[in-house]
């Protein structure tokens, strides 16, 4: 009897807690319902009264392209982003349908891997500039951005110009080609423009990452639109945000040269609020464009490319690890729900703005409610099973008995839950298809657990900050960038690629093509030999086209692996053995991808198919001479630097490449000696022609030898470690 009464008391107490939770859920659901009703009312009204009128003219891509390009700056804060920053910059420059822009990447002095990657890309892209944060990291994203903004204003002063807009991006963002065109069209009429943010598509079983797909699909298609419509205030999402110069200057003036709040972990949300208080005009830009989407059909490994109409947006991968996800969201909760409560309080230009502050901050409480509700449901199931099986018999009259107000509230909350689920399925299906739309239902449960852990961590950090004085630091999230296959890249011809990088002028390219004529000389070789292009940029372009990593040779590396491949093969196919990578594969340094026949020849000689890396032509030329110079074993690199004899013969039209390669099939260094003499003996070229080209080559060597000794020795660049 005592046991039964104890269970009855326990169950009665849980019902009181359930009633409180039901009331909280009901109030929160009314808030969500208001957002839903406003969205659909606005959408129906605009469709009936605005978009169907004769006066309505939808903005077109042609209008974006017709507008004259203004100066634009892109700022990217980077702390420990060496894995993704190069791919992000490469993809940005490749796809961007805009020329008049400059990229500023902020790095920290104690993050050398990221610095090296940014410096490497700056040699490839003249429009890229690295900005050094004046102190070690990590500090905060806002601190890094403030250093970048200062560099942008310095650039304006040094060059006597002004940027019309400054765009904020992260190092994992995938951009649409028309992004800057869209910002350019709206500037300077708008002070802040925020694009939608969407998750790149994940597999169905990636449940944690899938929650980001669902949440961003709904919030950036519905809630951000409602937010702008209700209050006129749009928070920055931290990526895909364009600030007009007027807005940036106003932020600098209001905060003593620190436009971004270093005391906030969500400086993006904070800056949107402060711009609103300054009376700036912010908009959430929704402009439908075409996206190339790679999608894998469920139950199949085949990927297919789709063309989809969806709003112009910034896409990226979000974490699929539960711990990484709740730690990232904890930073968002801490900044939006707790720090803004402390710093912004309830200030707003209107009642609507204050209401949206409440809407944003309710999550610091309601995220716990969902998990408590799951636990209570499990308890009530156990209790009723116990009653049905006779484990206990005593119980008090239920608060939720038929006809009670609490029972009615349960039904109403169930109806609200159905509305929530329907909206989540709808918005996810619009972006990702009906399969992911259905998966959004179980992912709602996963998302509730992630959000609960995020809020718990946020409260812990905030309370430690308040009562123990612990600093709130930048909690770094590991980022992932999609592969070239996932991005469905369209490869450009070399000339088009170099022009898109601003590496050569259109007139220069035309002159190079005329010089090339019908000769069997690569365009890159023509550009380099005439001084119109440097070898480093050419090597970067070839590596990009072939989707191959770069290689950097050193004299030690060349000598160390000289015996790993026959010298004749190295000379014939212009390839140098660099040792083995971490997967124990043979690695070759080449100036351009080898032909199938060349790969087959080398594979037969070394017993395996090698992997290729792209090196500079000058590096390879020195390396090949080093291989032939048996007396140079163990000495410093003092071999002549300059074009190889075979290249010079082909470039001057004295020899076709197929003739040269055919003659070299039987060439042996120990038997035939110098390549020039061998070609004369074979009757491939006349002695007089050979002597003329050799004389040119010697003149080049003489000019090179007049350079400082350290410059000659440094021709290889940095000594290369074992290839990776």
Res. 657: pLDDT tops 70: no
The reply to whether 678 falls in a domain is yes
What is the arithmetic mean of pLDDT over 69-91?
Answer: 92
Q: Residue 304's pLDDT is what? A: 65
- Could you tell me the maximum CA-CA distance found in the chain, to the nearest angstrom? 118
| CB 236, CB 268: distance < 8 Å | yes
Are 632 and 513 part of one and the same domain? Answer: no
Provide the domain count of the chain: 3
Which of 509, 541, 573 is at the close of a domain?
A: 541
User: Among residues 638, 656, 636, 637, which one has the least CA distance to residue 646?
Assistant: 656
Residue 440: is its pLDDT beyond 80? yes
pLDDT exceeds 80 at position 308: no
Q: Which of 350-364, 391-405, 624-638 has the lowest mean pLDDT?
A: 624-638
Q: Kindly state the DSSP code that residue 522 receives in the 8-state scheme.
A: -
> Are 112 and 258 part of one and the same domain?
yes
Rounded Cα distance between 633 and 637, Å, is 10
Same domain, 621 and 523: no
Shared-domain flag, residues 532 and 552: no
Q: Are residues 500 and 575 in the same domain?
A: no
- Asked if residue 671 is part of any domain, the answer here is yes
Whole-number Å distance between alpha carbons of 578 and 588: 6
Q: Does residue 335 lie within any of the structural domains?
A: no
Domain around 129: 29-289+308-319
Of 541, 570, 598, at which residue does a domain stop?
Answer: 541
Instruction: Look up residue 94 and give its two tokens.
Output: 């490749």
722 domain residue, yes or no: no
* pLDDT bucket at 652, cuts 50 / 70 / 90: low
Instruction: Report yes or no on 223 lying in a domain.
Output: yes
Q: Which of 168-172, 537-541, 649-653 shows the lowest per-residue confidence on average (mean pLDDT)?
A: 649-653
Q: What is the CATH number of the domain that holds 599?
A: 3.30.300.160
State the pLDDT at residue 456.
94
| CATH number of the domain enclosing 104 | 3.90.550.10
For residue range 256-284, list pLDDT tens digits in order: 668 888 877 777 777 888 888 888 899 99
| Spatial separation of the C-alpha atoms in residues 326 and 339, rounded to whole Å | 18
- On the question of pLDDT at 642 being above 60, the answer is no
Q: The whole model's pTM is what?
A: 0.69
* Digit-coded pLDDT (tens) for 696-706: 666 655 555 55
Structure tokens that stand for 304 in this block? 């297919």
Residues in the chain: 724
- The dihedral through the CA atoms of 583, 588, 591, 592 has a sign that is negative
For the chain, the C-alpha Rg in angstroms (whole number) is 32
Task: Flag whether 140 is in a domain.
Answer: yes
**712 within domain boundaries:** yes
Beta bridge partners of 283: 193
**Which of 249-253, 284-288, 483-487, 691-695 is predicted with the least confidence, judged by mean pLDDT?**
483-487
Judgement on whether residues 511 and 604 belong to the same structural domain of the protein: no
Residues 137 and 185 in one domain: yes
- The segment with the largest mean pLDDT, out of 88-102, 145-159, 552-566, 632-646, is 145-159
Q: What is the torsion angle, in degrees rounded to the nearest 10, for the CA atoms of residue 278, residue 281, residue 286 and residue 287?
A: -130
> 188 and 218: one domain?
yes
Residues 537 and 632 in one domain: no
Q: Residue 167: CB partners within 8 Å, gap ≥ 6?
A: 72, 73, 74, 75, 179, 180, 183, 240, 241, 242, 243
Residues 5-51: tens digit of each pLDDT: 787 888 888 889 999 999 999 999 999 999 999 999 999 998 888 87
Pair 537, 678 in one domain:
no
In the prediction, which pLDDT does 711 show? 40
Query: Is residue 74 a part of any domain in this protein?
Result: yes
Q: Which of 505, 520, 541 delimits the end of a domain?
A: 541
Q: Are residues 162 and 273 in the same domain?
A: yes
Predicted confidence band of residue 666 (pLDDT cuts 50, 70, 90): low
Cα gap 245→172, rounded to integer Å: 25
- 622 and 697 co-located in one domain: yes
């Amino acid at each position: 009897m005592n046991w039964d009464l104890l269970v009855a008391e326990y169950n009665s107490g849980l019902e009181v807690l359930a009633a409180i939770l039901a009331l909280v859920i009901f109030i929160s659901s009314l808030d969500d319902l208001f957002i839903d009703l406003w969205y659909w009312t606005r959408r129906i009204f605009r469709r009936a009264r605005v978009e169907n009128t004769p006066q309505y003219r939808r903005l077109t891509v042609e209008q974006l392209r017709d507008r004259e390009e203004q100066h634009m700056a892109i700022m990217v804060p980077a702390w420990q982003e060496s894995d993704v920053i190069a791919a992000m910059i490469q993809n940005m420059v490749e796809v961007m349908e805009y020329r008049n822009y400059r990229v500023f990447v902020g790095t920290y002095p104690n993050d050398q891997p990221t610095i090296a990657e940014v410096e490497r890309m700056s040699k490839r892209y003249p429009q890229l500039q690295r900005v050094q944060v004046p102190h070690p990291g990590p500090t905060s994203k806002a601190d890094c951005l403030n250093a970048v903004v200062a560099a942008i204003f310095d650039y304006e002063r040094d060059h006597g110009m002004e940027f019309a807009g400054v765009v904020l991006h992260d190092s994992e963002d995938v951009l649409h080609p028309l992004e800057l065109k869209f910002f350019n069209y709206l500037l300077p009429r708008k002070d802040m423009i925020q694009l939608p943010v969407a998750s790149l598509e994940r597999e169905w079983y990636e449940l944690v990452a899938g929650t980001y797909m669902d949440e961003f699909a709904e919030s950036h298609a519905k809630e951000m639109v409602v937010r702008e419509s209700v209050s006129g205030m749009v928070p920055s999402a931290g990526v895909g945000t364009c600030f007009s110069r007027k807005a940036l200057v106003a932020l600098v003036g209001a905060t003593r040269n620190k436009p971004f709040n270093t005391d906030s972990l969500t400086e993006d949300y904070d800056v949107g609020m402060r711009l609103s208080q300054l009376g700036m005009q912010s908009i959430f830009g929704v402009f439908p464009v075409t996206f190339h989407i790679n999608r894998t059909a469920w139950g199949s490994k085949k990927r297919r490319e789709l063309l989809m109409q969806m709003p112009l947006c910034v896409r990226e991968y979000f974490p699929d690890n539960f711990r990484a996800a709740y730690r990232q969201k904890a930073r968002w909760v801490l900044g939006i729900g707790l720090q803004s409560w402390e710093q912004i309080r309830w200030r707003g230009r209107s009642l609507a703005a204050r209401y949206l502050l409440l809407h944003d901050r309710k999550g610091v409480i309601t995220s716990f409610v969902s998990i408590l509700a799951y636990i209570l449901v499990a308890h009530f199931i156990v209790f009723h099973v116990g009653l049905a099986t006779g484990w206990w018999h005593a119980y008090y009259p239920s608060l939720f008995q038929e006809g009670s107000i609490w029972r009615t509230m349960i039904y109403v909350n169930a109806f609200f839950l159905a509305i929530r689920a329907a909206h989540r399925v709808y918005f996810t299906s619009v972006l990702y298809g009906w399969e992911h739309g259905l998966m959004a239902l179980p992912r709602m449960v996963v998302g509730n657990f992630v959000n609960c852990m995020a809020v718990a961590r946020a409260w812990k950090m905030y309370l430690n900050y308040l009562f123990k004085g612990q600093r709130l630091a930048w909690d770094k999230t590991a980022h992932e960038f999609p592969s070239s296959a996932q991005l469905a890249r369209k490869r450009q011809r070399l000339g088009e690629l170099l022009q898109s990088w601003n590496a050569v002028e259109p007139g220069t390219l035309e002159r190079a093509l005329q010089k090339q004529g019908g000769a069997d000389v690569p365009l890159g070789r023509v550009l380099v030999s005439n001084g119109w292009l440097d070898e480093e940029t050419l090597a970067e372009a070839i590596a990009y086209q072939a989707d191959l990593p770069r290689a950097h040779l050193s004299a030690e590396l060349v000598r160390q692996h000289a015996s790993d491949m026959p010298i004749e093969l190295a000379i014939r196919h212009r390839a140098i053995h660099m040792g083995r990578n971490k997967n124990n594969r043979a690695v070759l340094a080449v100036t351009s991808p080898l032909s199938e026949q060349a790969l087959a020849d080398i594979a037969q000689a070394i017993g395996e198919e090698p992997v290729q890396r792209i090196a500079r032509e000058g590096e390879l030329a020195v390396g090949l001479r080093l291989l032939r110079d048996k007396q140079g074993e163990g000495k410093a690199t003092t071999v002549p630097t300059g074009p190889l004899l075979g290249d010079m013969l082909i470039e001057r039209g004295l020899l076709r490449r197929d003739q040269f390669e055919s003659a070299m099939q039987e060439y042996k260094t120990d038997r035939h000696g110098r390549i020039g003499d061998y070609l004369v003996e074979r009757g491939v070229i006349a002695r007089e022609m050979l002597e003329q080209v050799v004389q040119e080559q010697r003149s080049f060597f003489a000019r090179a030898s007049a350079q400082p000794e350290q410059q000659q020795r440094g021709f290889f660049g940095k000594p290369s470690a074992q290839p990776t």
